[in-house]
Structure formats: C-alpha cells, structure tokens
Structure 1
Amino acid sequence: MIQQKSKLKVSDNSGAKTVRCIKVLGGFKKKIAKIGDLIVVSVQNLRNKMKYNSKVKKKEVYRALIIRTKNSFTKKSGFISSFFENSVVLINKQGNPLGTRIIGPVPRILKKKTLQKVLSISSAII
C-alpha cells in the first residue's frame, strides 16, 4: 500500500533510482494505491552511470505505475505473494513506459488493467 510521501525504487532503465509519491490518482478521496494503480511521483535520486544522459531529471514530476509492493496480494487460485520492495515504472502521458527494459518480475494482475506494453518489456511475469 503506497500513500503520499512514500519512497519507491524505480525498476526501469529510464535513469531514475528513487522517487517519492506526491499524489495517488483515481478519485479525490483515494489515499492508498495498490499494484496496478497510477501515482504522481517526483524524482529524488538518479543512477550514477546515467546522470548525464538520462531521460529524466532530478526534481521533475512524472506519472508512475506500481508494479511491486511489500504488502501481500492474493491471486484467484488462493496463492498469497508479496515482494521485498516497493517499486514503480515511470510512464508518459500516453501510458507508455519511459524506459525500454523492466528489471525484475511483474505480477500477472497488470494484464487485466490493459497495460500490455509494460508486460511485454518485462523480464519475468509472475
């Protein structure tokens, strides 16, 4: 569960390392975001190797898609799973990811939310 001022890791190669959640999208009373939800983030740190030629800049505001949370979620089969970190993928206004590669697994729940582009560039689907 992600809320305002949560720090998150970035799991793509856009150049950002950590981001901070500014706003949870999806209604004016929505306070908590789960896997598959969109949030507005601000870039806090950049990766050392990509500081000069990254696609993003520090202190810039972007949209992000949550792909992993520490909070557990249940699949239809009754299998309960969780991840070790909270992580996101930066996306543009059209809904396409800024990076060309996603590092780490992505849950199959995102398939229902019509985010096929994120699933296609990921390394593993759980």
Structure 2
Amino acid sequence: MIQQRTILKVSDNSGAKTVRCIKVLGGFKKKYAKLGSVIIVSIQQLRNKSKKTSKVKKKEVYKALIIRTKSKNRKKDGSELIFNENSVALINKQGSPIGTRIMGPIPRTLKKSVFKKFISISSGIV
C-alpha cells in the first residue's frame, strides 16, 4: 500500500534514485495505491554518476507507475507475490516510460494493463 509522503525507489535509468509520493491518482479522496497504479511523485535524490546526464532534475514533479510493493499481492490461483522494496518507474505526459531500461523483475499482472511497453524494457517477469 502506497500513500502520500511514501519514499519510493526508482528502478529505471532515468537518473532519479528516490522519489516521494505526492498524490494517488484514480478517484476522489483515494488514499492508497497498489501494484499497477499511477501516482504523482517528486524527485528527492539523483544518482551520483548521472547528475550531469540525467533526464530528470531534483524537485521536479512526474507521474510514476508502481512496479513493486512490499505488501502482499494475491493472484487468482491463491499464490502471493511479495517484493523486498517499494519501487516505481517514471512516466512522461504521454504515458510512455522516461527511462530506457528497468532493473529488476516486473509482475505479470502489468502485462494485461495499458502499460505494455514496461514489459518490453524490463529485465524479467515474475
């Protein structure tokens, strides 16, 4: 469960290291976001090596897709999917990813959603 002011790790190569959730999109007074939801984030830290060549700047506001959450995600067959971290991938205004690679696995549930391009640039599917 992701809510406002949650610190999240960025798992793409856009140049950001950590972001903070500003708003959960998807309805009036929606408090929590789950796997596959879109949120609005603010950049908190940049990666050290890519400060000069990063595609994003500190304190800028972007949309992000939630890729991994620490909370349990139940599948229809009864199994559960748990990750070690809360992680996002940054999105531009058109809905396409800012980075060109996503480090780490992506759950199969995102394959059925609108964001199919994230599956193709990720390293693995769980």
Q: CA deviation at 1:52?
A: 0.6
Structure 2 match to 1:73:
73
1:62-114 Cα offsets, whole Å, 9 max, x none, are: 00000000001011111111000000000001110000000000001111212
2: CA distance between counterparts of 1:90 and 1:109? Answer: 18
1: CA distance between counterparts of 2:54 and 2:72? Answer: 33
1:1-58 Cα offsets, whole Å, 9 max, x none, are: 0000000000000000000000000011211000000000000000000001100000
Identical-pair percentage: 70
RMSD: 0.6
User: TM-score by structure 1 length?
Assistant: 0.98
Give the match's secondary structure for 1:48.
coil
1: CA distance between counterparts of 2:29 and 2:23? Answer: 11
Moved more, 71-80 or 34-43: 71-80
2: CA distance between counterparts of 1:104 and 1:25? Answer: 25
User: TM-score by structure 2 length?
Assistant: 0.98
Query: Which 5+ residue runs of structure 1 have no aligned equivalent?
Result: none
**Number of residues paired by the alignment?**
126
Structure 1 match to 2:44:
44
